């Protein structure tokens, strides 16, 4: 446990924040959001779009998109909410990429990850195929109501992605995901 505290303090703190947010969610601490954003039309999509990116607020945003779907036009609503969801994702991406870089390097060098790498990285599986699977899994996590942190962490761990490319990817995936929710809810 001491090694975990000294080697990975940021990841441990982030995990504690997720657990704390989940406990607050179970206690009803986020119930106020529904009453505050309900009835504000397109403006509320800015807030819901921003909340769509974060793990513990994504279910609230998804529920709000379902509730507001009959009252808004899906294309402009998805574009607006997707824009603000992208801003939230870029914030998370930049924070994780920069702040957690040293810990990613330590995790990559750990015995467990080295062993997993040996198991899953046979010479028979080309590198492009392994990277493709990371991209696919990350894209599914970002487009869906799953916590975007999962996909963003995968992308940030690759390390060689330009902010411009990732911004376009986040925008497309978030907008398509929100548009799909709005269309299925009509």
Residue pair 55/149 in contact (Cβ under 8 Å)? The answer is: yes
Segment holding 61, helix H or strand E? helix 58-68
User: Which DSSP state fits 186?
Assistant: -
Q: What is the pTM of this model?
A: 0.71
Segment holding 185, helix H or strand E? none
Between 4 and 72, the more confident residue is 72
- pLDDT band for 20, please (50, 70, 90 cuts): confident
- Residue spans per domain, the chain: 2-184
Q: Which residue has the tokens 């657990």?
A: 19
Token pair of 134 as six digits: 């990371």
- pLDDT band for 182, please (50, 70, 90 cuts): very high
Give 88-133 pLDDT, tens digit per residue: 989 888 877 777 667 767 776 777 767 766 666 666 777 788 788 8
Residue pair 145/58 in contact (Cβ under 8 Å)? The answer is: yes
Give 51-77 pLDDT, tens digit per residue: 888 776 777 788 888 878 888 899 999
What's the Cα-to-Cα distance from 89 to each of 19, 124, 167, rounded to whole Å? 20, 34, 8
């Amino acid at each position: 446990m001491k090694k975990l505290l000294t080697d990975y303090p940021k990841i441990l703190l982030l995990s504690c924040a997720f657990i704390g947010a989940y406990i607050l969610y179970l206690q009803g601490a986020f119930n106020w959001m529904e009453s505050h954003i309900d009835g504000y039309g397109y403006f509320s999509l800015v807030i819901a779009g921003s909340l769509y990116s974060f793990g513990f607020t994504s279910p609230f945003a998804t529920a709000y998109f379902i509730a507001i779907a009959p009252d808004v036009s899906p294309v402009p609503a998805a574009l607006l909410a997707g824009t603000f969801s992208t801003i939230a994702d870029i914030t998370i991406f930049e924070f994780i990429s920069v702040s957690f870089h040293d810990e990613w390097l330590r995790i990559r060098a750990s015995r467990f990850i080295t062993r997993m790498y040996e198991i899953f990285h046979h010479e028979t599986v080309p590198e492009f195929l392994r990277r493709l699977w990371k991209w696919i899994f990350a894209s599914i996590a970002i487009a869906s109501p799953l916590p975007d942190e999962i996909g963003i962490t995968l992308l940030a761990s690759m390390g060689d992605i330009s902010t411009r490319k990732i911004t376009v990817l986040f925008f497309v995936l978030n907008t398509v995901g929100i548009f799909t929710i709005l269309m299925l809810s009509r």
